[in-house]
Amino acid sequence: MKTKKIILFVSANVLAILVILILISRKNMVKLYAERFKPNSFIMSDSLMIDASSEEVYQYYIHHYHEIYSQTAGKHHEFVLLNSDSIREGTTIYCREGEENQMIHHDYLVEQVIPGRLIFKSSEPTVIRVKTKKGTRENTCNTYVYVDFNDVGIQKSELRFTIVMQMPNYIYKMIGRILGGKKAKAEWEGHLQEELEGFRNVFYKYNQISY
């Protein structure tokens, strides 16, 4: 009986510490990402500098990104504009990325465009199809993508991609954190950097800009 009480006491304290850590983490994320923060989400953000104005980068992005998507990263396959010939508010997009054993399908809606400054699109839900020995398993999450264009000097701008992946609930987030860990985080961050650098490389080639 005494052992059982000790176990319950320890469990209660561990749970209390976990709740406190969750609340602290949530507060920090809200402070860092403001309105872009979503409950139960993983957030990745990275940027690079481009030798062109933000307006030039923005115009190229909205008119050509769907054409060059597969060239920007090794795991990129399709980025199809379904109801317009360029990216604008209300554009719907089918996007497919990933590897043979884990393919990610996004159905994006472009919710907000601030010309020359921001493109925000959401996929509710995103479907992840994972091939296993027993067949194909489907998981879902919501995906929110922010593309920021900012001038930092004469003919020099910052391009930033921020990706928010919102899990169905906190249990799913914890499972993802435990199973994926630092390796998965590093892979996603590497992919984000690859995508940014891939975009810049194609943009420079198109505009005949040398490094």
- Can you list the positions of beta strands (E) in 82-153? 92-99, 102-114, 118-132, 135-153
What is the rounded CA–CA span in Å between residue 71 and residue 132?
Answer: 28
Q: How far apart are CA 41 and CA 113, in angstroms?
A: 23
Confidence check: pLDDT of 54 > 80 = yes
Phi, psi of 68 (to 5 degrees): -105, 0
pLDDT digits (tens, 9 = 90+) for 105-122: 999 999 999 999 999 999
pLDDT one-digit tens code per residue, 172-190: 677 666 666 566 677 878 9
136, 130 Cβ separation under 8 angstroms? yes
- Please give the Cα distance from 193 to 187 (Å, whole number): 10
Separation of alpha carbons 177 and 40, rounded Å: 11
Look at residue 3 and tell me whether its pLDDT is greater than 80.
no
The band of 63, judged by pLDDT with boundaries at 50, 70 and 90, is: very high
Residue extents of the structural domains in the chain: 1-37, 40-207
Give 137-147 pLDDT, tens digit per residue: 899 999 999 99
pLDDT at 92: 98
- Helix/strand/coil for 23: helix
Confidence of residue 209 (pLDDT cuts 50, 70, 90): confident
Q: What is the CA radius of gyration of the chain?
A: 20
Residue 26: what pLDDT?
Answer: 47
For 118-132, 165-179, 190-204, which range has the lowest pLDDT when averaged over its residues? 165-179
Residue 202: pLDDT band with limits 50, 70, 90 = very high
For the entire predicted model, the pTM comes to 0.81
pLDDT recorded at residue 177? 63
40-207: CATH number? 3.30.530.20
